[in-house]
Structure 1
Amino acid sequence: MLKSLARRAARYVRSGQDLDRLVAAGLKLGPDVSVQDGVVFDGAFPWLIEVGAETTIAPQAYLLAHDASTKRHLGRTRVGRVVVGRRVFVGARALIMPGVTIGDGAIVAAGSVVTRDVAPGALVAGNPAAEIGRVEDYLARQRDRLDAGPFFPEDRFPSEDRTLSAAARDEMRRALDDAGRDGWVV
């Protein structure tokens, strides 16, 4: 029981919401979903949100199943299902609006505002989000860059408790500066 309470507290601190409560209220999270710090699921209508297996939702993303902008004018609040497929990446501070389905394997770029459906395997960005490419083409470009490095072994990469030493942090910054580009954790 104490472990369960500790896990719930850790989830709350990480996401700012009690995910166990939202799941109990109907939020559907598939296996191996990664919910990063500050993600907000619509607490008023969690049963309208479904996230597929192996999906990552980056920090401070919002998934909204309702839009109350019409409430004062029309006396009604718009609601809609939000369905995020399998192996999707939702970038930091992205906003997913009600009634949106994001297809399997899609990538939603950081800061995007998704107001309409995203096709499977699409790469979308912007406000409103629009398709800017296909995930397979993006990954092919990244694969071509893999050999260039620099590389950082996973055991040196910060864990959840951010215990990377000051020397290792300096080493990473120096390697990135020397390379003049981003690098890779392997």
Structure 2
Amino acid sequence: MMMRRILTSVTIRIKNKLNPPKSELEQLRDRGLKYGRNFEFYNSLIDQGHCWLVEIGDDVTITNSTILAHDASTKAYIGKSKIGKVKIGDRVFIGFNSVVLCNVTIGNDVIVAAGSIVTKSIPDNSIVAGNPARVIGKTSEYIEKHRANLAVKPVFDTYWPYKTQDQIKEIQEGLNNDYGYDE
């Protein structure tokens, strides 16, 4: 019995080294999730049961958020869950702790502010925020404002994992009265 456990453990370790377990994103892709180039997916959840209804474009970042292609609130009442496609365009940023519900299309060049609940489709070149999310501005105007601010605000260029303690102190002091920009 003990020898069998040892052999099983060794076999699993060898198998995992030869064929490492697939990442969550690889598993979702295998189940039908479609996504484009430069897809950044940080600590987020994409509906595993209906990921084949989700399509994500190029240059998309999703941070600590949830993408749902189903709504099970109807299941107890009518015996079925509502399902719908989720389409996310190109150059989209979905901020921390946001939720995108089923049957929603997010256009190109969209910023979804942190904590937003996206219940309806969003047009191109929009910034949305709130619960439910609503358009609060144009992405192009927002980016131009911040591009201009690079000339007058503090700018720091070392990517966060490589910052020295001196650089951290410089940033802390440089941001005493205002915000700045970082790599």
The 4+ residue runs of structure 1 with deviation greater than 3 A are 1-4
Give distance in 2, aligned partners of 1:166 and 1:142: 27
Show the counterpart of 2:20: 5
Counterparts of 1:89-128 in structure 2, within 5 Å, are 89-128=93-132
Show the counterpart of 1:168: 167
Return the offset for 1:2.
5.0
Return the offset for 1:4.
7.1
Q: Aligned partner of 1:140: which letter?
A: E
TM-score by length of 1: 0.84
Show the counterpart of 1:157: 159
TM-score by length of 2: 0.85
SS of 1:172 mapped into structure 2: helix
Give distance in 1, aligned partners of 2:154 and 2:142: 19
Show the counterpart of 1:52: 57
SS of 2:20 mapped into structure 1: helix
Counterparts of 1:32-111 in structure 2, within 5 Å, are 32-36=38-42, 38-58=43-63, 60-111=64-115
Identity of aligned residues (%): 34
Kindly tell me the number of residue pairs found equivalent between the two proteins.
168
Aligned-pair RMSD on alpha carbons? 1.8
Give distance in 2, aligned partners of 1:33 and 1:3: 27
Q: Aligned partner of 1:46: which letter?
A: C
The answer to whether the aligner puts 1:22 opposite 2:28 as a matched pair is yes
- Picking from 115, 138, 143, the partner of 1:139 is 143
Return the offset for 1:168.
2.3
Give distance in 2, aligned partners of 1:171 and 1:2: 43
Task: Name which one, 1 or 2, has greater alpha-carbon Rg.
Answer: 2
Give distance in 1, aligned partners of 2:114 and 2:69: 19
Q: Which runs of 5+ in 1 are unaligned?
A: 13-17
